[in-house]
Amino acid sequence: MAAEMTIDVTKTFPGRAPIQARLRYAVEASTVLILFGPSGSGKTTILRSIAGLEWPEDGRIEFVSRTWLDTRSRIRVSPQDRHIGYMPQDYALFPTYSVVGNIGYGLGALESHDRNKRITEVVELFQLQGLEAAKPRELSGGQQQRVALARAVAPRPQLLLLDEPLSALDAPTRLQLRGELRSLLKQLALPSIVVTHDWAEALTLGDVMAVMDEGQVHQVGKPHEVFSRPADANVARIVGVETVVHGQVIENVNGLATVTVNGTRLKGLSNDAIGAGVYVCIRAEDVVVEQAGSGMTSARNHLTGLVSEIAPQGVMVHVKIDCGFPLTATITRGAVEDLRLSPGVSVIAAIKAGAVHLVPRSVA
């Protein structure tokens, strides 16, 4: 039987609706689960319950062959005995400890020779050489993030929990560290759970993704499948990007990349080199639908396609267009009538290059 993680817990904070999360997924050596959802949906509570820092009043948590929590059998394994590395959203570095002091914090059980050896290894792995004696306040945001990760990983945990690991960083640093974090997580060969509400992060880092809203898990699946095939309108609203398809960069001129998706060419912004595999991500509201044969627009992409489906979504309508790959546009009901749209009608989908988001696709 494949190794699994099972979470089935109820946690109620006074005066609030209960958080009732159920989730089960296969765990391999380096599986990254993404917990995705809006602020307040219960992501941190679930992570803290897995870490043993929050006690659900009811339920079970099982990791591979170990039961960490089972309220019916009164099993409550302590946080220490779970061997988990946990990185909270604000990092929670010890301000008066040096980098080495922070990293060595969880290594108290080791002889001092072994402890120092492990610290040196981890300092190298996270490229913190030269900063050993620095205090957290002397470090940049990106360096603090690496120290926090190094501290979580140093005791060789069997599971790593990262709560919005990149959210405290400025946008350029976040973009750079997103790629680094992906290679690091694969290199560590350590199952991890990463909380985020950023879809590019979910696509870059995740193998499996669970979408949470109002304390419940609404969908579990591969990230690109969840994005392109949300289980219901609620999940679609939460994930907020309706088209996610595989593409390949075939040209790149100063960051304006041309990608092919199933033979259809698209322009988007990316620094990826020719040959790179990417996820092409397009939000439905960024697609302008025009009658075939109509005039020019400023958009870089004009894709010819046939309407395959028209699905009302509240006041808006989702128009699915087959243009070599399935593309979703969201337009008003009035526009559907004006353009006389129905299945089989030929249209042009116009998309600005800036709205074609290209997210690097790792070759796992």
Nearer to Mg ion, 44 or 328 (CB): 44
Nearer to Mg ion, 44 or 145 (CB): 44
Which parts of 270-329 interact with ligand ADP (CB under 6 A)? none
Binding residues for Mg ion, rule CB under 5 A, total: 1
Nearer to Mg ion, 44 or 301 (CB): 44
Nearer to ligand ADP, 45 or 102 (CB): 45
Three-state SS sequence of 298-314 = CCCEEEEEEEEEEEEEC
Q: In what order do the strands lie in the sheet with 58-63?
A: 19-26, 4-11, 58-63, 66-70, 75-76
Q: List CB contacts of 5: < 8 A, sequence separation 6 or more.
A: 23, 24, 25, 27, 33, 62, 63, 64, 191
Q: Which does 40 bind (CB under 5 to 8 A by kind): Mg ion, ligand ADP, none?
A: ligand ADP
Position with the least CB separation from Mg ion: 44
Q: Which does 94 bind (CB under 5 to 8 A by kind): Mg ion, ligand ADP, none?
A: none
Residue 198 CA, distance from chain mean position:
6
The answer to whether 292 and 276 are in contact (CB under 8 A) is: no
> With binding defined as CB under 6 A, does residue 360 bind ligand ADP?
no
Query: Which residue in 20, 44, 102, 196 binds Mg ion (CB under 5 A)?
Result: 44
> With binding defined as CB under 6 A, does residue 104 bind ligand ADP?
no
> With binding defined as CB under 6 A, does residue 13 bind ligand ADP?
yes
Select the span of 39-47, 99-107, 214-222, 348-356 touching Mg ion (CB under 5 A): 39-47
Smallest distance, Å, CB 200 to Mg ion?
A: 18
Name beta bridge partners: 210. 35, 220
Nearer to ligand ADP, 149 or 238 (CB): 238
Q: Tell me which residue has tokens 């817990």.
A: 9
Q: Tell me which residue has tokens 């679609």.
A: 236
Q: Which does 151 bind (CB under 5 to 8 A by kind): ligand ADP, Mg ion, none?
A: none
Query: 269 φ, ψ to 5°?
Result: -95, 130
DSSP string spanning 202-265? HHHH-SEEEEEETTEEEEEE-HHHHHHS-SSHHHHHHH---EEEEEEEEEEETTEEEEEETTEE
Nearer to Mg ion, 192 or 243 (CB): 192
Which parts of 36-65 interact with ligand ADP (CB under 6 A)? 37, 39-45
Helix (H), strand (E) at residue 337:
helix 333-338
Contact footprint for ligand ADP (CB under 6 A)? 13, 16, 37, 39-45
Contact footprint for Mg ion (CB under 5 A)? 44
